[in-house]
Every structure is written in structure tokens, then in C-alpha cells.
Structure 1
Amino acid sequence: MKITRIINNNVICAINVRRQEVMLLGSGIGFQKKKGDEVDKEKIEKEFFLKSKNVAGKLYALLAQIPAEYMAVSDSIIKEAKETLGKDLNENIYITLTDHINFAVSRFLNGLNFKNALLWEVKKFYPSEFKIALKGLETINREFNVDLPEDEAASIALHIVNAELGSEMEEVMEMTQLIQKVLNLVRYNYKINFNEESLNYMRFITHLKFFSYRLFSNKIIETNDVEFQDIIRDKYKDEYECSLKIRDLVNHDYKKELTEEELVYLTVHIRRVVMEEKMKK
């Protein structure tokens, strides 16, 4: 392979056999090298191929400023997430997560403590992503000889969720806060505590995740199934009233409107989770 650019002593770009530009990481792989030189294959430790040239360009710029070790750790977390979740992730995570890890380590070494206000919510709503993040946190602490707190795992998990949905980090945080607000509203309205291990609760959380995603990405459901809506409103009047309170909350806090379809689907999920709790009494 021929070198196409030198990022730093430990990161270079080259053209592979499929005529794709790849990024290569390895100790000293770019030392005293120039464009057009052959790659020393024995020094290749990691190889990356990014489909987006825009993302690749931003990542090159980032790696010109920070050690390649941060990218290597970031990649290990991303690979774990892809394998565990069975999903493709938005390539932007290579930039955002690598940059975050570098910043988190730097912040710790400078004695700046970090508290994530969404730690509890992330644990509850994104358990798979949080588990991956905890494993990644162990790697970060070991590789950089730091002792980052569990709060950082919540931040890493949000980066993974962000990459799953293709949303901006601010949106993901707003979504997480909205889920908590809706749960609190339902809990207070019916004066119940949820069984967080139950299937109906997990279904409700899953629905709220996609509901909040649709809300903030302006992809609200509109099916115009009037007959189904009429049946649900008539059959589950109390739960529908609760969904109207959620509508008011969303309108007040986020200045967004919910369609009748969204209200009806919320009603169905509220009915399931509330009835389960009532049956236990």
C-alpha cells in the first residue's frame, strides 16, 4: 500500500487493494515517511475505513491534535457496540467519542470532577448501551491510568445512542429527559410504582424511546386510522385522558404538537403498564 497522507507519527492514510483510502494506526508507522512511500505493514496495528469523506476529514484533523491511543480505545468501544447491539452506527461517533474520551481524561488529570445529571435515566432507559459503556470505561481507566467515575459511562452510552439514532447529542439528552417526564407523569397520575423488570414496562420504555425520537426529528405518526382511534378513545377513556396530559406537557415544554395517532398509541401502552400494576393490588 502507498501512503497518501501523514496525520502524525502514529497515524497515516493509504490506498488499499480495493482502491479505498484507509486510515492506519501503529506506533511509528508515519515516522520519517512521506506521501508516496510504501506502508510498513508490520507496523499496522489497526485499520479503519470510513465511507463518509466528510467524517474522515474531520477525524484526520482531530487525530492531528491528539494521541492515536484515544482513537484505538474509541474503536474498541464502537466495535463492541456494533457486535452487541447488532446495529450499524453513524460514523460521526468515531469523531465524537474519540474527542470525548480525550476531553474526559484531560479533565480528570486536571482535577476537574464530572457529574452526569442523566446517570440514573441512562442506566434505566439504555441498559444495553450502558453495559457496553461500563466495559469501555474499564478500558479507558486501564489504558490511560485514570479513575473516571460511572458518570462517564453514562456519557459514553449517550454517544452510542446518538450514533444508533443518527441524532445530535443535545436531542438525545432531551429525549432522555422527556422519557423521564412522561414516566413521572404516569406514575403520579395513577399513584403507582412500575415493575421495571416487567415486559409491559420494557415495551413502554421502548415505545417512549421511539416516540421521543419521532418528536424531536419531526417524524410524528400520521396514519388517519379514524376507526381504530375511536375504539381506543372509547374503550380506554381514563388512559386517553392521561395521554392528553402528556400532550399538554410536550406542548408546554417543547412547543410541539402530538397527532391523534401518537396519543392513541400512548394510550395503549399506558393501559398495559397501568393495568399490570393494578392487578397486583
Structure 2
Amino acid sequence: MGGDVLLSVKKVLNNNVIIAEHPDYEEVVLIGKGIGFGKNTGDEVAGEHAEKFFVLKNSEEQTQFMNLLEYVDEDFIGIINEFVEKLEKKFGSVMNEHIHVGLTDHLYFAIKRIKQGLGIKNPFLHETELAYPKEYAAATELTEWLNEKFDVRIPEGEIGFITLHIHSALTNRNLAEINLHTQLVSELVQIIEDYLRVSISRKDMNYLRLVRHLHHAIERIQTETYLENQDSLKEVLQKEYPLCYNLSWKLMKIMQQRLHRPVPDAEAVYLTLHLQRLVSTVH
């Protein structure tokens, strides 16, 4: 938000949330620590606060956020908002406004479950950390901060879920799609291990390379960004490494089914080379 935008207060919902009139977006929801304190209808919220609050412009997000206010404590909203502010500074990027609804709602219930002594299981924690290391580091910071603020011990599994929320808001990608990709990578790794009859240590550098490669492959398929045709190399690899070549086609079929997108033949070359390197170092 620019520092020169003047907004006029329409309604104060609590100390941290107000509804205001915006010159470009009509009615907006402003979230910021202490933004509603001492404010009355018609007051101006000047640009000097611009770094300190977030605007929800999307009407659907506004409605969802209003629903949040009915059950989430306003201090909690202030704390999560403060952290989103830190994230934007850290990544130097404006985050998708949905994070205010998605992350606040998710963490509110997660902390509630933890306080009730209920556990949190996350089978994709390691894959998530490997795929999104920067977001994972930021999520780790947030959990330490929340532990202090709410006097809880947020388990490690929760860091993975927060990571996905941060990644979703940074990339404007749908959370369900990111979850699907993480699960798909996990499933593909399992198929590779079964097919090659190997057990890859989750701490091994080869595992890291494999997970990253599979994530990149999925992204290439989703965005349909492919390099040149690899037909000549494909024939060589088919003869040289039939086991890995056949496995690469099996994996490609699964990706095609799950992603509902065609997988170009060139992917067989990249996958075969990757799998062959894995076989030669694991066996």
C-alpha cells in the first residue's frame, strides 16, 4: 500500500481490525496491531500506518475474515498479523491476502488442539522441508515465537503445515494443489524404492536431489515448460539402463493421472538419468 493513500474509518470491529473506505477498492478490511484503538467512524487512517496494516480487498476474503472474528481472540489476530508483516519484510514480497484467513484459522485450531493434549501428525514433514527450505525456516521462527507468546510447545509436524501456508501465500498457489504435489512426491519416492528394491535414507543427499527433481518435474508439467526434444538420448538410455527407463515411464504415467496433464517424453530422459545415479550410489 502506498504511503499517500487516505482511508476513512467506516466501522471499528476491534483494536486490530477496522472496516474503511478505500479510494480504489471501496470497502476494505484493515488488519493491524492497534489500528482500531481510539478510532471513530469518519476518522482518517493516514498513510503513515501503511506499513503497519494489511488490506483485505477481496470480498470473499473479507467475509471469511469477519467469520473468523466471531471465534478468534483479537490479540491472536494481532499476533498473526505482526508475523505476516515480518514475513513480507523477510521475503521482500507482498503475500496473497488469503494468508490472513488461512493461517490465522489454521493456527488458532492447532494451538487449541495442542492445549487439549491432542497430537499433530504430518507424514510429509521431511518432503516439505526439502521442497521449500526458506519457507520452512520462516515457519520454524514463527513456531518459536508462538511458543513464547502462547506458552505452548508446537510440535515439529506443525511447522510443515505452516510452511505450506507461507509458500501458498508467496506464490499465489492454491494450498490444496501444494498439498497434492507434496503427497504425490511422497508416493513417487515409495514406488521408486519398491521398484528398485532400495531403501533411501531420508538424510541422504540423493534423497534430497530426488525430491527436488520430482518437485521440479511436477512444476514443469503443470506449467508446460519443456526443453528441447530428447529422442536420440532417449534411445541410448532405453538400451543402457532399461530398469530405470521403464521405471521413469511408470512414474510419468502416475504424474499424468494425478495432475491431469500430458507429460512430454523428454521427462523420461531426465528421470532415467536421475534414477540411474540413485541406483549406482545406493546399491
Offset of 1:156 from its aligned partner? 0.7
1:175 pairs with one of 170, 173, 181: 181
- Aligned residue for 1:7, secondary structure, equals strand
1:98-247 → structure 2 map (5 Å cutoff): 98-188=104-194, 189=196, 191=198, 193=200, 196=203, 198=205, 201-213=207-219, 218-220=222-224, 225=229, 226-234=231-239, 236-247=241-252
| 8 Å Cα contact 1:116-1:154 kept in structure 2 | yes
TM-score normalised by the chain length of structure 2: 0.74
1:1-40 → structure 2 map (5 Å cutoff): 1=6, 2-14=8-20, 23-27=30-34, 29-30=36-37, 33-34=40-41, 36-39=42-45
Matched letter for residue 95 of structure 1: V
| 8 Å Cα contact 2:31-2:55 kept in structure 1 | no
- Aligned residue for 1:147, secondary structure, equals coil
User: What RMSD over aligned residues (CA atoms) do the two structures have, in Å?
Assistant: 4.0
Structure 2 match to 1:261: 266
1:48 lines up with 2:54 in the alignment = yes
**Which region of structure 1 is more displaced relative to structure 2, 143-152 or 10-19?**
10-19
Matched letter for residue 52 of structure 2: K
Measured in 2, the distance between the counterparts of 1:17 and 1:249 equals 49
Structure 1 match to 2:276: 271
Measured in 2, the distance between the counterparts of 1:169 and 1:177 equals 12
Matched letter for residue 109 of structure 2: F
Offset of 1:137 from its aligned partner? 0.8
Identity of aligned residues (%): 26
| 8 Å Cα contact 2:122-2:158 kept in structure 1 | yes
TM-score normalised by the chain length of structure 1: 0.74
Measured in 2, the distance between the counterparts of 1:109 and 1:161 equals 26
| 8 Å Cα contact 1:220-1:262 kept in structure 2 | no
| 8 Å Cα contact 2:88-2:94 kept in structure 1 | yes
Measured in 1, the distance between the counterparts of 2:225 and 2:151 equals 48
Q: 1:192 to 1:39 in 2, by over 3 A?
A: closer
- Aligned residue for 1:263, secondary structure, equals helix
Structure 1 match to 2:3: none
Structure 1 unaligned residues grouped into runs of 5+: none
Structure 2 unaligned residues grouped into runs of 5+: 1-5
- Aligned residue for 2:100, secondary structure, equals helix
